[in-house]
Amino acid sequence: MSDKDKLDADLMEDDEEGEDTQEDKYLTFAIGQEDFGIEIRYVTEINGIQGITVVPDMPHYVKGVINLRGKVIPVMDIRLRFGVDERSYDDRTCIIVININEQPVGLIVDRVLEVLDIQKSEIEPPPIMKKGKSNRFIHGMGKVGDQVKMLLNANKLLFDEEEIV
């Protein structure tokens, strides 16, 4: 069973069990050497990279739109959103489709990892940087064994208009 099939099975299992079972669950993915997580309740599906139609006059991190089963969905390259250098897409590059406030958006990530259960007691606030401000996209740092996963604030990721300097 491929990694994508396992993740899809996890997502389907969570859907069948109800929303309460999605609490404390995060879909993890990699950008470069760093691991991130997003609450599973926002994730609707995971797709391989596909043809993206460029839309003029969009923020630099919005690559364009995709046609997903007849629905037009904007896609955002998370590398560019975080101010990380762009890289070529490969066979591990995925689009994680999330839904925030009835707005579906595709997040382009280097590779999808796994679904993890991270209890609230294992999440610490992000470090404070730059004049007392913490990283605006990160709502917490999830401790998983001896690793740390940066847990994203999906709402700020999509709707925070402040540019990275």
Query: Do the strands 71-77 and 34-39 form a parallel or antiparallel pair, or are they unpaired?
Result: unpaired
pLDDT at 99: 94
Residue 165, pLDDT above cutoff 50: no
Q: Where are the beta strands (DSSP E) in 69-146?
A: 71-77, 94-100, 103-109, 111-117, 123-124, 128-129, 133-134, 138-144
In a domain, 11, yes or no: yes
Residue 164 lies in a domain: no
Q: Write the single-letter amino acid at 30.
A: A
Q: Is the pLDDT of residue 13 over 90?
A: no
Tokens found for residue 55: 């839309």
pLDDT tens-place string over residues 89-144:
999 999 999 999 899 999 999 999 999 999 999 999 988 766 544 478 898 999 99
Q: What is the CATH number of the domain that holds 153?
A: 2.40.50.180
Higher per-residue pLDDT: 76 or 165: 76
Total structural domains in the chain? 1
Q: State residue 132's pLDDT score.
A: 44
Average pLDDT of the chain is 85
Quick check: is 139 in a domain? yes
Within a domain: 165: no
Please list the residues that pair with 124 across neighbouring strands: 141
Can you give the residue range of the structural domain that contains 87? Answer: 3-159
pLDDT of residue 29: 97
Residue type, 75: V
**Which residues, in sequence order, are bridge partners of residue 10?**
none
Say whether pLDDT at 164 is over 50: no
pLDDT of residue 104: 95
In a domain, residue 23? The reply is yes
